[in-house]
C-alpha cells in the first residue's frame, strides 16, 4: 500500500497490487529464414531429420533435429491457433496452411520412404516460412504472436551452430573461389622458334566438395 499526502494533510492510498496494462507483443517476422537442407538420420530405433536453417539477415547458420511427429505437432498446433479465425487476415492464412501438402505417416520406413519424406518436409517447411514472411498476415495479432512464436520455437529451439554449408545455387558441391586469367607476354622471338609469346591457361580454384 502506497500513501500520498496531498495538501492540508489529506492522505490518499493507492494499492501497489495494481498492474499496468500489458504491452502488446511486437510482431515478428520469418523474413530472411532459409532452409538449406533436410536430411534423415538414424537415432537409435527412430529417425530424425537434420534441418539446416539460415537467417540471411543476421548471417547466422544453425542445425536443428526434428522427428516427423514433431513436425506433425507443429502442423496441428498451427491449425488449432486458427481454429476460429477472428479476422480476414488469419482466415486467409488458415486456408493456405491447411492446403499445404504434408507427407503421410508410413508404417514401414525404407530408405526410399525416408528420402522422399525428407523432400516433402523440406517443401513444407519452406512453404511455412514463405507464408510466415508475408507482411500482410502480420496485421493479425494471432499471426504476429502465436503463429510466429510456434514457428520461431520450431526452427530455433535446440539449435546447434552449423559451420559449413553448400550454397543453394551451388552445383555439385563445388564453390568457385578464384578465377584468374594469367597471361605472360614475352618479347618476340626469331621465327625459327615457331612462336612469339607464351600464355598460361585460366586457373580455377575450387573448394573441396561438401555434402549436405
Q: Could you read off the pLDDT tens digit of each residue along the chain, which spans 212 residues?
A: 545 444 444 444 444 444 444 433 344 567 789 999 999 999 888 999 999 999 888 778 999 999 999 999 999 999 999 887 778 888 888 888 999 999 999 888 899 999 999 999 999 999 999 988 888 888 888 888 888 899 999 999 888 988 765 544 443 333 333 333 333 344 455 555 554 444 444 444 444 444 44
Q: Which residues of the chain form CATH 3.30.1520.10?
A: 33-161
Q: Which helix (H) or strand (E) holds 126?
A: helix 111-132
Beta strands in 71-186 (DSSP E): 160-161, 176-180, 183-184
CA dihedral 149, 155, 157, 159 (to 10 degrees): -150
- CATH number belonging to domain 33-161: 3.30.1520.10
pTM for this predicted structure = 0.64
DSSP 102: -
pLDDT of residue 30: 73
pLDDT of residue 40: 95
Amino acid at each position: 500500500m502506497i500513501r500520498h499526502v496531498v495538501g492540508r494533510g489529506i492522505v490518499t492510498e493507492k494499492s501497489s497490487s495494481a498492474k499496468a496494462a500489458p504491452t502488446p507483443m511486437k510482431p515478428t517476422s520469418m523474413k530472411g529464414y532459409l532452409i538449406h537442407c533436410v536430411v534423415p538420420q538414424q537415432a537409435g530405433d527412430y529417425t530424425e531429420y537434420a534441418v539446416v536453417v539460415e537467417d540471411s539477415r543476421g548471417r547466422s547458420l544453425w542445425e536443428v533435429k526434428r522427428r516427423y511427429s514433431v513436425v506433425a505437432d507443429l502442423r496441428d498446433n498451427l491449425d488449432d491457433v486458427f481454429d476460429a479465425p477472428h479476422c480476414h487476415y488469419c482466415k486467409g492464412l488458415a486456408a493456405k496452411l491447411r492446403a499445404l501438402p504434408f507427407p503421410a505417416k508410413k508404417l514401414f520406413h525404407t530408405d526410399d520412404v525416408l528420402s522422399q519424406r525428407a523432400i516433402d518436409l523440406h517443401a513444407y517447411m519452406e512453404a511455412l516460412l514463405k507464408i510466415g514472411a508475408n507482411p500482410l498476415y502480420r496485421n493479425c495479432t494471432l499471426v504476429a504472436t502465436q503463429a510466429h512464436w510456434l514457428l520461431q520455437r520450431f526452427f530455433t529451439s535446440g539449435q546447434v551452430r552449423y559451420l559449413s554449408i553448400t550454397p543453394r545455387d551451388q552445383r555439385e558441391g563445388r564453390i568457385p573461389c578464384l578465377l584468374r586469367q594469367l597471361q605472360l607476354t614475352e618479347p618476340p622471338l626469331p621465327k625459327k622458334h615457331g612462336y612469339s609469346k607464351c600464355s598460361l591457361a585460366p586457373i580455377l580454384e575450387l573448394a573441396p566438395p561438401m555434402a549436405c
